[in-house]
Amino acid sequence: MKQSVLGLVLVSCSFVAVSAQNVEASLQLDSLITKLHSVILLQKDIETEEVKGVYRITAWHFVPSLNYDFINNKYYLTVSSGPLITNMINKRQETRRLSAIDRKYDNQVKSSEIRLRSILISLNQRLTNLQLSHTILLNDIEIFLIKNQEYTNHEIDTETFLKEKSSILNKIKNHNSEASDIQRQLLEIELLTESEISIDLTQFFISPSLIVPQVPKVP
């Protein structure tokens, strides 16, 4: 039993080392900021295009209208300046809306970039701690399995054993909760930048089944 768990520890630690290299490659600040800017710029361009050219004046606005003068008994043509005045007003509204769009997305770039930098600073430290926690926890599982064997051999009482079991289960729960929180932060980066982060945290999750000794099969 002890040898099998030790093998698990060694394999898990090797996965952690590989993941550490992937972290550095996947969380490059400059690259992610560039992707973030591209996402926001695309949103801005779409909204800008929806506003531009809506208030467009054409030759049809100046087509003269045919009128009849009943007093002088003759027809005459008139051209209204109303469409031109309306277009000027609309163009001013368009300019104001475009300026508002510029301000909106400039602020969005700044706030999103601050958010991205904050997440990355937090992630780098949390990922380092998670790797260390993973290694320590696997070592604690080894110790618990020794305690389990002692309990099986009636070397420790039930109360002591159950306290040890509760302790290791709480450690596993807290460790997995931290891994889940980090996974949510990675997802937030993916949503902000619309890009895939190639960091697989499934290897860091520890199953509570590891503390349950495997019963050897009867031949």
Judge whether 65 lies within some domain. Answer: no
pLDDT at 58: 62
Judge whether 201 lies within some domain. Answer: yes
Judge whether 98 lies within some domain. Answer: no
Q: Report pLDDT digits (tens) over 55-111.
A: 665 665 566 676 777 777 777 666 666 666 777 777 788 888 899 999 999 999 999
Q: Facing residues of 75 across strands?
A: 68
Q: Facing residues of 76 across strands?
A: 67
Judge whether 170 lies within some domain. Answer: yes
Task: Name the token pair of 160.
Answer: 């002591």
Q: Report pLDDT digits (tens) over 131-181.
A: 999 999 999 999 999 999 999 999 999 999 999 999 999 999 999 999 999
Judge whether 166 lies within some domain. Answer: yes
CB 126 within 8 A of CB 182: yes
Pick the closest to residue 1 from 212, 151, 168, 206 (CA basis): 212
Q: What region, left, alpha or beta, does residue 180 occupy, with left being phi > 0 and alpha being psi -120 to 50 degrees?
A: alpha
pLDDT at 28: 83
Judge whether 85 lies within some domain. Answer: no
Judge whether 67 lies within some domain. Answer: no
Give the total number of structural domains in the chain: 1
Q: Which domain holds residue 136?
A: 2-54+109-211
Q: Report pLDDT digits (tens) over 5-47.
A: 444 443 344 444 434 445 555 678 888 999 999 999 999 999 9
Model-level pTM? 0.67
Task: Name the token pair of 159.
Answer: 């109360």
Judge whether 104 lies within some domain. Answer: no
